[in-house]
Amino acid sequence: MFPWKTALTAATLATLLVSLKAWDWRSSASLLDFRPRQIVLAPTEDQVKNYTVLTANANKLDPRRITDAGGSMAAFYGALMQTEQGRPGAVTRVVHYGESPTTADMITADVRALLQAKFGDAGHGFALVAKPWAWYQHRGVEVSGSNWSIHPAHQGHLKDGLFGLGGVTFVGTSGATARVKVQDKRHTIVEVSYLAQPEGGSFAFYAGETALGTVETAADSNTPGYASFRVPEGTAEYSIQDVKGKVRLFGVRLAKSAPGVMYDSLGLNGASIMVPSRSFNEDHWAAQLKHVQPHLVVLNYGINESVYAAFVESALEKELRRAIARVRRAVPEASILLMAPMDRGDRDATGTIVTPRALTRVVEIESKVAADTGIAFFNTFEAMGGAGTMAKWYTDTPRLVSADLLHPMPAGAKKVGKLFYDALLAGYLRYKVIERSKGLHSIAANEPEPQASNPTGTSPADAQTPPPAQAPQPNP
């Protein structure tokens, strides 16, 4: 029998020898010059979650999403990305101005809790030193005071516009005290904001029963003052005591020594857009905003304006533009978002609960102003269901709005807070996908052309590959 296996082996060996003779060993240098393509890790799960929906709705006016054709939210989203990465000192700061619901930290408390649960808790943020109204409250923080003359920006007798960040001045002399109790005892820094003024007095700051320092408020002119105290973790109560002379306080800021989100709820009962546009002294308010360095400023007005149809038609647009311009001059690097009011119910002649036309006009005007000025807009009114929502909420079980058809019950406020949070998160996820795409395009643009040989004789270590471009990261 013919030895087929042996013959096949011999033929294979012969073919290999012929191939080796024909091999150009100089071409082996190209193997050494081989450069693998840069491998980019896949986006994280939350970056691509609902990406199909985000892409499909990119050019649609979805009322549950933030409208931001001008890219105003990039500063906020960029800061949030650094916070999510856990970079040291990466605190994303939001200041949210609003009306009576915000006065009780409604809606804002829910947004704060959701953001901090996802991105980290940098502290409660700003709170007034006492109650201007009986229903003033902040979730997890209880304030009380005695012997203060209290002056809200839009209601008090003081007309100098010096009302701090929160819009209320507290004037006190000997015997005035303020206490702040917190449920979360992990705060490590408390900052007291006050007015430094000619012939200003002094006050002492306590953590529990321990005096941490005395603050002298005397100065040559009226200027914002800040006194920061490092407090022992585990402290449940802070106080301002031992007032001597005349002092003028604004509030306290509660912070933690960790990356995360800080969300200031700055609501005034009965407020309107006229507070930031007219009642605040512009230079003083600008100094307050610059000190905080917010990444996002939310202007959330419109309910109280909607009671006055003539004002809505004649002055609202002008005052919105004025307030936005003030914020932009103070903190030009910050994102600005105009947040539309919730629905409001009125009873017509038949007793039917209806949405007043003036409210829908407020929403229309705010949407237009946001687009014209290049800032972001969240249509709270439409996101919660549009006209007739409060009529439905009033008959829901459990009821979501109080009998005045204006102020939400806690469950209603939570619903609106979740809508706003979802809109912020959707915008952020879209931002991350877009930034990711920019990074991939930059890498592709910087990749060298593949080489078939290495004519220069340089080693692979000598051939430098440009690093991938990185998306710009704003400072927190």
Helix axes 410-446, 108-119, angle to 10 degrees: 40
Cα separation, 341 vs 212, in Å, equals: 42
Q: Which amino acid appears at position 240 of this protein? A: I
Superfamily of domain 44-122+260-439: SGNH hydrolase (3.40.50.1110)
Chain center to CA of 358: 29
Whether 258 contacts 122, CB under 8 Å: yes
Question: Do 244 and 129 form a contact (C-beta atoms < 8 A)?
Answer: no
Query: For residue 210, what is the enclosing H or E element?
Result: strand 210-216
Amino acid at 148: W
- Per-residue pLDDT tens, the chain, 476 aa: give them: 545 444 544 444 444 444 434 444 333 333 333 333 333 334 455 545 454 444 444 445 688 899 999 999 999 999 999 999 999 899 999 999 999 999 999 999 999 999 999 999 999 999 999 999 999 999 999 999 999 999 999 997 899 999 999 999 999 999 999 999 999 999 999 999 999 999 999 999 999 999 999 999 999 999 999 999 999 999 999 999 999 999 999 999 999 999 999 999 999 999 999 999 999 999 999 999 999 999 999 999 999 999 999 999 999 999 999 999 999 999 999 999 999 999 999 999 999 999 999 999 999 999 999 999 999 999 999 999 999 999 999 999 999 999 999 999 999 999 999 999 999 999 999 999 988 777 654 544 554 444 443 333 333 333 333 333 333 333 33
pLDDT of residue 62: 84
CA 351/CA 405 separation, integer angstroms: 13
Q: Quick one: which of 270, 215, 220, 218 has its CA closest to 241?
A: 215
Report d(CA 245, CA 227) in Å as an integer. Answer: 18
Tokens standing for 114?
A: 């959701």
Answer yes or no: same fold for 44-122+260-439 and 123-257. no
Q: Specify the pTM.
A: 0.81
Burial category of 215 from C-beta neighbours within 10 Å (exposed 0-12, middle 13-18, buried 19 and up)? buried
pLDDT score recorded for residue 436: 77
Tell me what pLDDT residue 444 has: 46
Q: Residue ranges per domain, the chain?
A: 44-122+260-439, 123-257
The secondary structure element, H or E, covering residue 394 is helix 389-395
Q: Which amino acid is at 87?
A: R
For residue 229 the two structure tokens come to 């105290």
Angle CA(467)–CA(471)–CA(473) in degrees, nearest 5?
Answer: 120
Identify the helix (H) or strand (E) that includes residue 240.
Answer: strand 237-244
pLDDT value of position 199: 96
For domain 123-257, is the CATH number 3.40.50.150?
no
- The CA-atom distances, in angstroms, between 271 and each of 62, 96, 300 are 29, 13, 10
